[in-house]
Structure 1
Amino acid sequence: MFGDLMGMMGKLKETQQKVEATKKRLDTVFLEEASSDGLLKITLTANRKIKTIEIADALLEDKEQLEDYLILALNKAIEKATNVHEAEVAAVAKEGMPNIPGLDMFK
């Protein structure tokens, strides 16, 4: 019984390390989002850190329009990055979870 418990604890610790490694790797996964007309482009990591924002000169003339573009593009970019982040971390966590009866939250 204690051997099983120790094995599960070791497996959980290993999974935790894999999750942390995955999170670090996601800092190197870049995602791009652009407005439909290409006047605004955003690049961010899968960990939701903004790396670049490119704004066409035409948008600089209308503050309100620029603000609208930023809100729309940032929200879409953050959603995309969140989906990638959650899928990657969940895959690693699910792979490393020991089979504990009643704990099927990752299935």
Structure 2
Amino acid sequence: MFGDMMGMMNKIKEAQEKVEATKERMKTVMIDESSSDGLLKVTVNANREIKSINVADELMDDKEQLEDYLILTLNKALSRASEINEREVAAAAKDGMPDIPGLDMFK
């Protein structure tokens, strides 16, 4: 009985380590997003950190337009980053979890 419990605890610890490793790897997964006309380009990582913003010179003349472009483009990039992050972390957690009857939160 205690052997089974120790085995499960080890599996849970392994799952936590896999999740942490996946979160660390997400720092290296880059998502590029551009405005529809290509005047604004942003890069974020899968941990939802902004890595770069490239603004075309013609957007610099219109502050309001630039703000709109930033909001739309960053939101698209961050949404994609969230999807990737959630999918990868859930997969890592599910892969490492022990088979405990009734505990199917990652399915």
TM-score, structure 1 length as denominator?
A: 0.97
Distance 1:22 1:95 in 2: 12
2:16 aligns with 16
**2: CA distance between counterparts of 1:19 and 1:99?**
17
Unaligned runs of 5+ in 2: none
Q: Which secondary structure does the structure 2 equivalent of 1:54 belong to?
A: strand
SS in 2 for 1:28: coil
Identical amino acids, percent of aligned pairs: 68
Q: CA deviation at 1:102?
A: 1.2
Give the Å deviation of 1:99. Answer: 1.0
- In structure 1, how many angstroms separate the alpha carbons of the residues matched to 2:73 and 2:25? 24
Q: Which residue of 2 aligns with 1:49?
A: 49
1:72 corresponds in structure 2 to 72
What amino acid does structure 1 have at the position aligned with 2:62? D
Aligned length: 107
Deviation, structure 1 residue 25: 0.8
Deviation sequence 1:45-90 (CA, Å, 0-9, x none) = 1111111000001111111100000000111110000000011101
Runs of 4+ aligned residues of structure 1 deviating over 2 Å after TM superposition are none
**Aligned Cα RMSD in Å?**
0.6
